[in-house]
Amino acid sequence: MTCDDAFPLLLERVDGEPPDRDRARLDEHLRVCEVCRARLAALREDERVLADAIPVSPPRGFERSLAATVWERAQGIERQRGLDRRLWTLVAAASCMAVAVALALGFEPALDAWKPVARALDALPAPAELVESLLRGLESLPVIPESVPMGRVSTAWLAAGAAAACAQLLLARRLLTRRGAR
Amino acid sequence: MTAWSGTFSPTLERLVGESEGESEGESQGPDAALVRRILAGDAQAFATLVARFGGTVFSVGVRMLGNRAEAEDLSQDVFLKVHQKLRSFDVRLPLAPWIRRIASNETLNRLRGRRADRPRLAPEDVEAPDPGPAADAALEAKRRADRVACALATLPENQRLVVTLKYVESLTAEEIGAALGVPRNTVKTWLFRAKESLRRALADDV
Protein backbone atom coordinates (compact mmCIF):
# COMPACT_ATOMS: atom_id res chain seq x y z
CA MET A 1 0.00 0.00 0.00
CA THR A 2 1.31 3.46 -0.93
CA CYS A 3 0.80 6.64 1.10
CA ASP A 4 -1.64 7.86 -1.58
CA ASP A 5 -3.66 4.67 -1.19
CA ALA A 6 -3.59 5.03 2.57
CA PHE A 7 -4.84 8.63 2.74
CA PRO A 8 -8.57 8.03 2.01
CA LEU A 9 -8.50 5.16 4.48
CA LEU A 10 -6.98 7.44 7.11
CA LEU A 11 -9.82 9.89 6.55
CA GLU A 12 -12.39 7.14 6.97
CA ARG A 13 -10.70 5.92 10.12
CA VAL A 14 -10.69 9.43 11.60
CA ASP A 15 -14.36 9.87 10.71
CA GLY A 16 -15.14 6.58 12.41
CA GLU A 17 -16.95 5.49 9.28
CA PRO A 18 -17.81 1.81 9.28
CA PRO A 19 -16.64 -0.42 7.74
CA ASP A 20 -12.94 0.27 8.05
CA ARG A 21 -11.96 -1.21 4.73
CA ASP A 22 -8.55 -2.80 4.34
CA ARG A 23 -7.98 -2.43 8.06
CA ALA A 24 -5.15 -4.97 8.18
CA ARG A 25 -3.37 -3.49 5.17
CA LEU A 26 -3.66 0.02 6.58
CA ASP A 27 -2.36 -1.10 9.97
CA GLU A 28 0.55 -2.76 8.27
CA HIS A 29 1.29 0.40 6.29
CA LEU A 30 1.07 2.57 9.40
CA ARG A 31 3.49 0.27 11.20
CA VAL A 32 6.19 0.97 8.62
CA CYS A 33 5.30 4.53 7.43
CA GLU A 34 6.17 7.38 9.74
CA VAL A 35 4.71 9.99 7.39
CA CYS A 36 1.27 8.37 7.48
CA ARG A 37 1.44 7.93 11.25
CA ALA A 38 2.14 11.63 11.60
CA ARG A 39 -0.64 12.38 9.14
CA LEU A 40 -3.09 10.27 11.12
CA ALA A 41 -2.10 12.02 14.35
CA ALA A 42 -2.58 15.44 12.71
CA LEU A 43 -5.96 14.43 11.34
CA ARG A 44 -7.06 13.24 14.79
CA GLU A 45 -5.90 16.49 16.36
CA ASP A 46 -7.83 18.53 13.78
CA GLU A 47 -10.83 16.37 14.46
CA ARG A 48 -10.57 17.03 18.18
CA VAL A 49 -10.23 20.80 17.60
CA LEU A 50 -13.30 20.89 15.37
CA ALA A 51 -15.35 18.71 17.70
CA ASP A 52 -14.50 21.07 20.59
CA ALA A 53 -14.99 24.30 18.70
CA ILE A 54 -18.08 23.80 16.56
CA PRO A 55 -20.83 22.97 19.08
CA VAL A 56 -22.28 26.06 20.75
CA SER A 57 -23.80 26.04 24.23
CA PRO A 58 -27.25 27.62 24.39
CA PRO A 59 -27.94 30.22 27.10
CA ARG A 60 -28.92 28.93 30.54
CA GLY A 61 -32.56 27.88 30.68
CA PHE A 62 -32.86 28.21 26.90
CA GLU A 63 -34.67 24.93 26.32
CA ARG A 64 -37.22 25.58 29.07
CA SER A 65 -38.12 29.05 27.83
CA LEU A 66 -38.11 27.84 24.21
CA ALA A 67 -40.55 25.04 25.05
CA ALA A 68 -42.84 27.46 26.92
CA THR A 69 -42.80 30.05 24.12
CA VAL A 70 -43.41 27.55 21.34
CA TRP A 71 -46.16 25.77 23.30
CA GLU A 72 -47.91 29.10 23.86
CA ARG A 73 -47.65 30.01 20.18
CA ALA A 74 -48.90 26.58 19.12
CA GLN A 75 -51.89 26.79 21.49
CA GLY A 76 -52.72 30.26 20.13
CA ILE A 77 -52.65 28.96 16.57
CA GLU A 78 -54.84 25.99 17.56
CA ARG A 79 -57.36 28.29 19.28
CA GLN A 80 -57.49 30.55 16.22
CA ARG A 81 -58.04 27.54 13.96
CA GLY A 82 -60.84 26.33 16.22
CA LEU A 83 -62.53 29.73 16.04
CA ASP A 84 -62.15 29.82 12.27
CA ARG A 85 -63.65 26.35 11.97
CA ARG A 86 -66.62 27.30 14.13
CA LEU A 87 -67.15 30.55 12.24
CA TRP A 88 -67.12 28.80 8.87
CA THR A 89 -69.47 26.14 10.18
CA LEU A 90 -71.92 28.83 11.26
CA VAL A 91 -71.66 30.67 7.95
CA ALA A 92 -72.17 27.45 5.99
CA ALA A 93 -75.10 26.38 8.16
CA ALA A 94 -76.73 29.80 7.85
CA SER A 95 -76.29 29.77 4.07
CA CYS A 96 -77.82 26.29 3.82
CA MET A 97 -80.77 27.37 5.92
CA ALA A 98 -81.30 30.51 3.84
CA VAL A 99 -81.29 28.47 0.63
CA ALA A 100 -83.65 25.91 2.17
CA VAL A 101 -86.11 28.62 3.32
CA ALA A 102 -85.97 30.43 -0.03
CA LEU A 103 -86.62 27.21 -1.93
CA ALA A 104 -89.38 26.16 0.42
CA LEU A 105 -91.15 29.51 0.16
CA GLY A 106 -90.59 29.81 -3.57
CA PHE A 107 -91.97 26.41 -4.49
CA GLU A 108 -94.93 26.57 -2.15
CA PRO A 109 -97.80 27.28 -4.59
CA ALA A 110 -99.97 28.77 -1.87
CA LEU A 111 -97.46 31.49 -1.08
CA ASP A 112 -96.44 32.31 -4.65
CA ALA A 113 -93.42 34.08 -3.25
CA TRP A 114 -91.56 33.89 -6.54
CA LYS A 115 -94.38 35.23 -8.64
CA PRO A 116 -93.05 38.78 -8.77
CA VAL A 117 -89.70 37.44 -9.88
CA ALA A 118 -91.29 35.33 -12.56
CA ARG A 119 -93.35 38.32 -13.72
CA ALA A 120 -90.25 40.48 -13.90
CA LEU A 121 -88.48 37.81 -15.95
CA ASP A 122 -91.47 37.55 -18.25
CA ALA A 123 -91.21 41.27 -18.88
CA LEU A 124 -87.78 40.71 -20.42
CA PRO A 125 -88.64 39.23 -23.83
CA ALA A 126 -85.21 38.79 -25.31
CA PRO A 127 -83.85 35.92 -23.19
CA ALA A 128 -87.18 34.12 -23.20
CA GLU A 129 -87.44 34.34 -26.98
CA LEU A 130 -83.88 33.25 -27.38
CA VAL A 131 -84.45 30.17 -25.25
CA GLU A 132 -87.68 29.41 -27.09
CA SER A 133 -86.03 29.62 -30.48
CA LEU A 134 -83.20 27.47 -29.32
CA LEU A 135 -85.59 24.88 -28.01
CA ARG A 136 -87.60 24.93 -31.22
CA GLY A 137 -84.41 24.44 -33.14
CA LEU A 138 -83.77 21.15 -31.42
CA GLU A 139 -86.02 18.98 -33.52
CA SER A 140 -84.93 15.80 -31.85
CA LEU A 141 -86.50 16.90 -28.61
CA PRO A 142 -89.91 15.50 -27.72
CA VAL A 143 -92.84 17.80 -27.02
CA ILE A 144 -91.77 20.57 -24.72
CA PRO A 145 -94.22 21.08 -21.91
CA GLU A 146 -95.79 24.51 -21.88
CA SER A 147 -94.82 25.06 -18.31
CA VAL A 148 -92.48 23.14 -16.06
CA PRO A 149 -94.56 21.78 -13.23
CA MET A 150 -92.41 23.31 -10.53
CA GLY A 151 -95.31 23.53 -8.15
CA ARG A 152 -95.31 19.76 -7.87
CA VAL A 153 -91.81 19.74 -6.42
CA SER A 154 -92.51 19.12 -2.84
CA THR A 155 -91.51 21.82 -0.44
CA ALA A 156 -90.90 19.13 2.12
CA TRP A 157 -88.43 17.34 -0.16
CA LEU A 158 -86.51 20.52 -0.83
CA ALA A 159 -86.39 21.47 2.81
CA ALA A 160 -85.31 17.94 3.72
CA GLY A 161 -82.54 18.03 1.11
CA ALA A 162 -81.23 21.34 2.35
CA ALA A 163 -81.42 20.20 5.95
CA ALA A 164 -79.54 17.01 5.09
CA ALA A 165 -76.82 19.01 3.35
CA CYS A 166 -76.64 21.24 6.38
CA ALA A 167 -76.40 18.32 8.79
CA GLN A 168 -73.72 16.70 6.66
CA LEU A 169 -71.71 19.90 6.71
CA LEU A 170 -72.05 20.25 10.45
CA LEU A 171 -71.04 16.65 11.01
CA ALA A 172 -67.96 16.99 8.79
CA ARG A 173 -66.94 20.16 10.61
CA ARG A 174 -67.43 18.56 14.00
CA LEU A 175 -65.29 15.58 13.00
CA LEU A 176 -62.57 17.90 11.75
CA THR A 177 -62.67 19.89 14.99
CA ARG A 178 -62.44 16.72 17.08
CA ARG A 179 -59.46 15.42 15.11
CA GLY A 180 -57.77 18.79 15.39
CA ALA A 181 -58.22 18.88 19.16
CA ARG A 182 -57.02 15.32 19.70
CA MET B 1 -31.03 5.34 5.86
CA THR B 2 -34.44 3.93 5.23
CA ALA B 3 -36.10 6.43 7.55
CA TRP B 4 -37.23 8.61 4.67
CA SER B 5 -38.27 5.93 2.24
CA GLY B 6 -41.74 6.52 0.93
CA THR B 7 -43.42 3.53 2.52
CA PHE B 8 -46.90 3.55 3.99
CA SER B 9 -46.69 5.28 7.33
CA PRO B 10 -48.97 4.61 10.27
CA THR B 11 -49.47 8.21 11.29
CA LEU B 12 -50.70 9.13 14.71
CA GLU B 13 -54.12 10.04 13.36
CA ARG B 14 -54.67 6.30 12.98
CA LEU B 15 -52.64 5.03 15.83
CA VAL B 16 -53.97 7.35 18.51
CA GLY B 17 -57.44 6.08 17.83
CA GLU B 18 -56.52 2.42 17.46
CA SER B 19 -53.97 1.78 20.14
CA GLU B 20 -55.58 3.18 23.25
CA GLY B 21 -54.89 0.64 25.96
CA GLU B 22 -52.81 -1.43 23.57
CA SER B 23 -49.33 -2.44 24.72
CA GLU B 24 -46.32 -0.87 23.02
CA GLY B 25 -46.27 -3.00 19.90
CA GLU B 26 -43.19 -3.74 17.85
CA SER B 27 -44.47 -1.36 15.16
CA GLN B 28 -44.15 1.55 17.60
CA GLY B 29 -40.90 3.51 17.52
CA PRO B 30 -38.94 4.55 20.58
CA ASP B 31 -40.56 7.99 20.68
CA ALA B 32 -44.17 6.99 20.04
CA ALA B 33 -45.22 7.42 23.67
CA LEU B 34 -43.69 10.89 23.87
CA VAL B 35 -45.36 11.93 20.62
CA ARG B 36 -48.71 10.60 21.80
CA ARG B 37 -48.48 12.57 25.04
CA ILE B 38 -47.68 15.78 23.16
CA LEU B 39 -50.63 15.25 20.85
CA ALA B 40 -52.83 14.69 23.87
CA GLY B 41 -51.87 18.20 25.01
CA ASP B 42 -49.15 17.40 27.53
CA ALA B 43 -46.93 20.51 27.75
CA GLN B 44 -44.41 18.66 29.91
CA ALA B 45 -43.89 16.07 27.18
CA PHE B 46 -43.26 18.85 24.69
CA ALA B 47 -40.73 20.38 27.10
CA THR B 48 -38.99 16.99 27.21
CA LEU B 49 -38.78 16.94 23.45
CA VAL B 50 -37.38 20.47 23.33
CA ALA B 51 -34.88 19.64 26.08
CA ARG B 52 -33.63 16.73 23.97
CA PHE B 53 -33.21 18.57 20.70
CA GLY B 54 -33.25 22.30 21.51
CA GLY B 55 -29.53 22.60 22.15
CA THR B 56 -28.65 20.90 18.88
CA VAL B 57 -31.01 23.04 16.83
CA PHE B 58 -29.65 26.17 18.50
CA SER B 59 -26.06 25.09 17.88
CA VAL B 60 -26.69 24.38 14.22
CA GLY B 61 -28.53 27.72 13.97
CA VAL B 62 -25.63 29.69 15.42
CA ARG B 63 -23.10 28.04 13.15
CA MET B 64 -25.25 28.34 10.04
CA LEU B 65 -26.79 31.77 10.55
CA GLY B 66 -23.92 33.38 12.35
CA ASN B 67 -25.64 34.90 15.35
CA ARG B 68 -27.37 33.76 18.48
CA ALA B 69 -30.49 35.93 18.23
CA GLU B 70 -31.34 34.53 14.83
CA ALA B 71 -30.55 31.03 16.05
CA GLU B 72 -33.10 31.51 18.84
CA ASP B 73 -35.71 32.63 16.28
CA LEU B 74 -34.86 29.65 14.14
CA SER B 75 -35.24 27.31 17.11
CA GLN B 76 -38.73 28.68 17.75
CA ASP B 77 -39.76 28.23 14.14
CA VAL B 78 -38.34 24.72 13.99
CA PHE B 79 -40.15 23.52 17.12
CA LEU B 80 -43.38 25.23 16.10
CA LYS B 81 -43.19 23.34 12.82
CA VAL B 82 -42.39 20.15 14.71
CA HIS B 83 -45.48 20.68 16.86
CA GLN B 84 -47.68 21.36 13.85
CA LYS B 85 -46.41 18.40 11.82
CA LEU B 86 -46.31 15.93 14.69
CA ARG B 87 -49.67 14.46 13.70
CA SER B 88 -48.19 13.23 10.43
CA PHE B 89 -45.04 11.82 12.05
CA ASP B 90 -44.48 8.10 11.42
CA VAL B 91 -44.32 6.68 14.95
CA ARG B 92 -42.37 3.61 13.87
CA LEU B 93 -39.34 5.84 13.40
CA PRO B 94 -37.19 7.74 15.86
CA LEU B 95 -37.77 11.47 16.19
CA ALA B 96 -34.17 12.63 15.83
CA PRO B 97 -33.74 12.26 12.04
CA TRP B 98 -37.16 13.79 11.43
CA ILE B 99 -36.43 16.84 13.59
CA ARG B 100 -32.97 17.11 12.07
CA ARG B 101 -34.52 17.24 8.64
CA ILE B 102 -37.01 19.94 9.61
CA ALA B 103 -34.22 21.95 11.22
CA SER B 104 -31.98 21.62 8.17
CA ASN B 105 -34.74 22.70 5.80
CA GLU B 106 -35.70 25.67 7.98
CA THR B 107 -32.06 26.73 8.23
CA LEU B 108 -31.51 26.53 4.49
CA ASN B 109 -34.77 28.40 3.84
CA ARG B 110 -33.61 31.20 6.10
CA LEU B 111 -30.27 31.34 4.38
CA ARG B 112 -31.96 31.47 0.99
CA GLY B 113 -34.13 34.31 2.26
CA ARG B 114 -31.08 36.42 2.92
CA ARG B 115 -28.94 35.13 0.09
CA ALA B 116 -27.39 38.53 -0.56
CA ASP B 117 -25.84 38.75 2.89
CA ARG B 118 -22.87 36.81 4.06
CA PRO B 119 -23.27 35.15 7.46
CA ARG B 120 -22.61 37.66 10.16
CA LEU B 121 -20.47 36.04 12.77
CA ALA B 122 -19.41 38.45 15.45
CA PRO B 123 -16.69 37.20 17.80
CA GLU B 124 -19.03 37.61 20.78
CA ASP B 125 -21.44 35.23 19.12
CA VAL B 126 -18.97 32.44 19.42
CA GLU B 127 -19.01 30.69 22.71
CA ALA B 128 -16.11 28.49 23.69
CA PRO B 129 -16.73 25.17 25.37
CA ASP B 130 -16.51 24.93 29.11
CA PRO B 131 -13.10 26.49 29.89
CA GLY B 132 -12.20 24.13 32.71
CA PRO B 133 -9.79 24.98 35.48
CA ALA B 134 -6.90 26.46 33.48
CA ALA B 135 -7.48 30.03 32.29
CA ASP B 136 -4.83 29.80 29.58
CA ALA B 137 -6.39 26.68 28.18
CA ALA B 138 -9.78 28.40 28.24
CA LEU B 139 -8.40 31.41 26.38
CA GLU B 140 -6.75 29.21 23.82
CA ALA B 141 -9.95 27.21 23.39
CA LYS B 142 -11.89 30.45 22.89
CA ARG B 143 -9.40 31.70 20.32
CA ARG B 144 -9.52 28.40 18.50
CA ALA B 145 -13.30 28.38 18.52
CA ASP B 146 -13.29 31.90 17.04
CA ARG B 147 -10.92 30.83 14.31
CA VAL B 148 -13.01 27.79 13.49
CA ALA B 149 -16.18 29.87 13.47
CA CYS B 150 -14.71 32.42 11.10
CA ALA B 151 -13.38 29.69 8.81
CA LEU B 152 -16.75 27.95 8.97
CA ALA B 153 -18.52 31.13 7.91
CA THR B 154 -16.57 31.21 4.67
CA LEU B 155 -17.70 27.74 3.58
CA PRO B 156 -20.52 27.17 1.09
CA GLU B 157 -23.88 26.46 2.79
CA ASN B 158 -23.99 22.74 2.05
CA GLN B 159 -20.47 22.16 3.35
CA ARG B 160 -21.12 24.29 6.41
CA LEU B 161 -24.29 22.37 7.20
CA VAL B 162 -22.73 18.91 6.89
CA VAL B 163 -19.71 19.84 8.95
CA THR B 164 -21.92 21.45 11.62
CA LEU B 165 -24.22 18.42 11.81
CA LYS B 166 -21.21 16.15 12.02
CA TYR B 167 -19.55 17.92 14.92
CA VAL B 168 -22.62 19.09 16.82
CA GLU B 169 -24.28 15.70 16.82
CA SER B 170 -21.41 13.36 15.92
CA LEU B 171 -23.43 12.03 13.00
CA THR B 172 -22.21 9.64 10.34
CA ALA B 173 -22.34 10.51 6.65
CA GLU B 174 -25.31 8.16 6.37
CA GLU B 175 -27.29 10.05 9.02
CA ILE B 176 -26.39 13.46 7.60
CA GLY B 177 -27.48 12.24 4.18
CA ALA B 178 -30.82 11.20 5.65
CA ALA B 179 -31.27 14.62 7.25
CA LEU B 180 -30.51 16.49 4.06
CA GLY B 181 -31.98 14.06 1.57
CA VAL B 182 -28.70 13.58 -0.29
CA PRO B 183 -26.65 10.40 -0.91
CA ARG B 184 -23.99 9.33 1.57
CA ASN B 185 -21.17 9.78 -0.95
CA THR B 186 -22.23 13.36 -1.64
CA VAL B 187 -22.08 14.05 2.09
CA LYS B 188 -18.63 12.50 2.26
CA THR B 189 -17.42 14.70 -0.59
CA TRP B 190 -18.83 17.85 1.04
CA LEU B 191 -17.34 16.84 4.38
CA PHE B 192 -13.96 16.21 2.84
CA ARG B 193 -13.92 19.60 1.11
CA ALA B 194 -15.18 21.40 4.19
CA LYS B 195 -12.58 19.83 6.43
CA GLU B 196 -9.83 20.60 3.95
CA SER B 197 -10.87 24.26 3.96
CA LEU B 198 -11.09 24.33 7.76
CA ARG B 199 -7.71 22.68 8.19
CA ARG B 200 -6.17 25.12 5.77
CA ALA B 201 -7.74 28.06 7.56
CA LEU B 202 -6.59 26.79 10.95
CA ALA B 203 -3.08 26.11 9.67
CA ASP B 204 -2.85 29.61 8.15
CA ASP B 205 -3.86 31.19 11.42
CA VAL B 206 -1.33 29.38 13.57
* A124-150 residue pLDDT tens: 656 566 666 666 665 444 444 444 444
Task: Indicate whether A108 pLDDT > 80.
Answer: no
Q: What is the mean pLDDT of chain A?
A: 73
Interface test with B, best of A10, A12, A50 (most B CBs within 10 A): A50
Nearest CA in chain B to A179: B13
The whole-number pLDDT of residue A161 equals 67
Q: Tell me A143's DSSP state.
A: P
Nearest CA in chain B to A65: B47
Maximum distance among all Cα pairs of chain A, rounded to whole angstroms: 110
What ipTM did this prediction achieve?
0.71
**DSSP string spanning chain B?**
-GGGS-----BHHHHHHH-TT----TTS-TTHHHHHHHHTT-HHHHHHHHHHHHHHHHHHHHHHHSSHHHHHHHHHHHHHHHHHHGGG-BTTS-HHHHHHHHHHHHHHHHHHHTTTSPP---GGG--PSP--S-HHHHHHHHHHHHHHHHHHHTS-HHHHHHHHHHHHH---HHHHHHHHT--HHHHHHHHHHHHHHHHHHHHHH-
pLDDT in tens, B150-198: 888 888 888 999 989 888 888 888 889 888 888 988 998 898 888 888 8
Q: How far is A61 from chain B (nearest CA, A)?
A: 10
Task: Indicate whether A122 pLDDT > 70.
Answer: no
pLDDT in tens, B20-72: 444 444 466 678 888 989 988 889 999 999 999 999 899 989 888 888 899 99
More confident residue, B54 or A81: B54
Task: Indicate whether A37 pLDDT > 70.
Answer: yes
The whole-number pLDDT of residue B19 equals 41
pTM as predicted? 0.64
Average pLDDT over residues B98-127: 72
Interface test with B, best of A17, A45, A70 (most B CBs within 10 A): A70
